[in-house]
Structure 1
Amino acid sequence: MPLEILLVLVVGGIAGITLLLHLTGRSSLRVLTQEITRRDWQRHFPDDVVVDVTVSHDGHAALVRTETGAGLLWSFGADTVGRHLLDFDWIEHANGFEFQFHDFGSPGVVVHLDEIERRHWQHLMEPS
């Protein structure tokens, strides 16, 4: 089979799968609630005891407070990513906060927060 035809088949197949996933709603971000956040946090960190959960108004991120400290859970497509807030920087962003983790395996994330949420989250992240 000529390389040109193979290339068209591969690109067409990937585009078709992408379109199919998008049309069936599989490409939308996961919306978090208190219950979903607790369950997903336990999936990421089974030994943690969740004390409190604060979900952002858009439902795509949550600040999780555990007995050992705070953590961040955010939507990553149809799944979630969770990280303890131990070695990180948070930067004021026009839309909320940008979290940069000092771990090459953890992507940075922008959490969209309104002004009231921003002050509340900042208060919750302060060391006690």
Structure 2
Amino acid sequence: MPLPILIVLVACGIAGIAWLIHASGLSRARTFDTEDDARAAWGREFPDLPAGTVTLTAKRAAALVMTSEGPGLVWPMGSDSTARLLHGSRAQPTADGLDLRLPDPSAPRLRLILTQDETQAWARIIEASKARHDS
């Protein structure tokens, strides 16, 4: 088979697969339908540290989790989720939410889209935790 035809077939095949994945909804970022969904995601990352109060964002794209060791965050990574404790994190309010700087090389920076009320409340909680953790 001539190389130009093979290139076209491969390109069309890849484009077709990408379209099927997108059309089937598998390319959408995960959301948390309930607090229990976020609590379960937290439990997968921290099975020995139970989640207390869980607060979902208005868009259900992330959750602030209170634990006995301080606040943590659960957020989507594609169709899955991940979680981190917010020890030593810095929260900088932005026009549309928070810019979080984590002392974690695997997730050094996160941008959360939050309402103004959520931004203020979450920033207070994270900064208060940082002050407690630093002392």
Give the TM-score normalised by the residue count of structure 2.
0.82
How far apart are residue 107 of structure 1 and its match? 5.1
- Which residue is equivalent to 1:96? 97
- The runs of 4+ residues in structure 1 deviating greater than 3 Å are 1-11
How far apart are residue 8 of structure 1 and its match? 3.6
Report the AA paired with residue 98 of structure 1.
Answer: D
Provide the rounded CA distance (Å) in 2 between the counterparts of 1:30 and 1:68.
Answer: 26
- Which residue is equivalent to 2:49? 48
Instruction: String of CA shifts for 1:16-57, please: whole Å, max 9, x gaps.
Output: 222111101111122212010000100111111111111100
- Which residue is equivalent to 2:114? 113
Which has the larger strand fraction?
1
Question: Which secondary structure does the structure 1 equivalent of 2:29 belong to?
Answer: coil
- Which residue is equivalent to 1:31? 31
Provide the rounded CA distance (Å) in 1 between the counterparts of 2:72 and 2:78.
Answer: 19
Long gaps (5+) in structure 2: none
How far apart are residue 84 of structure 1 and its match? 1.1
- 8 Å contact kept, 2:65–2:71: yes
Question: Which secondary structure does the structure 2 equivalent of 1:83 belong to?
Answer: strand
Instruction: Assess, with a 3 A threshold, how the Cα gap between structure 1 residues 25 and 107 changes in structure 2: closer, same or farther.
Output: farther
Provide the rounded CA distance (Å) in 2 between the counterparts of 1:18 and 1:91.
Answer: 36
Provide the rounded CA distance (Å) in 2 between the counterparts of 1:5 and 1:87.
Answer: 55
Instruction: Assess, with a 3 A threshold, how the Cα gap between structure 1 residues 8 and 87 changes in structure 2: closer, same or farther.
Output: farther
Larger radius of gyration, structure 1 or 2?
Answer: 2
- Which stretch shows the higher mean deviation, 94-103 or 34-43? 94-103
- Which residue is equivalent to 2:70? 69
How far apart are residue 96 of structure 1 and its match? 0.3
- Which residue is equivalent to 1:81? 82
Give the TM-score normalised by the residue count of structure 1.
0.86
Which has the larger helix fraction?
2
Provide the rounded CA distance (Å) in 1 between the counterparts of 2:90 and 2:18.
Answer: 34
Provide the rounded CA distance (Å) in 2 between the counterparts of 1:19 and 1:107.
Answer: 32
Instruction: Assess, with a 3 A threshold, how the Cα gap between structure 1 residues 12 and 99 changes in structure 2: closer, same or farther.
Output: farther
Indicate the RMSD between aligned Cα atoms, in angstroms.
1.9
Provide the rounded CA distance (Å) in 2 between the counterparts of 1:51 and 1:88.
Answer: 20
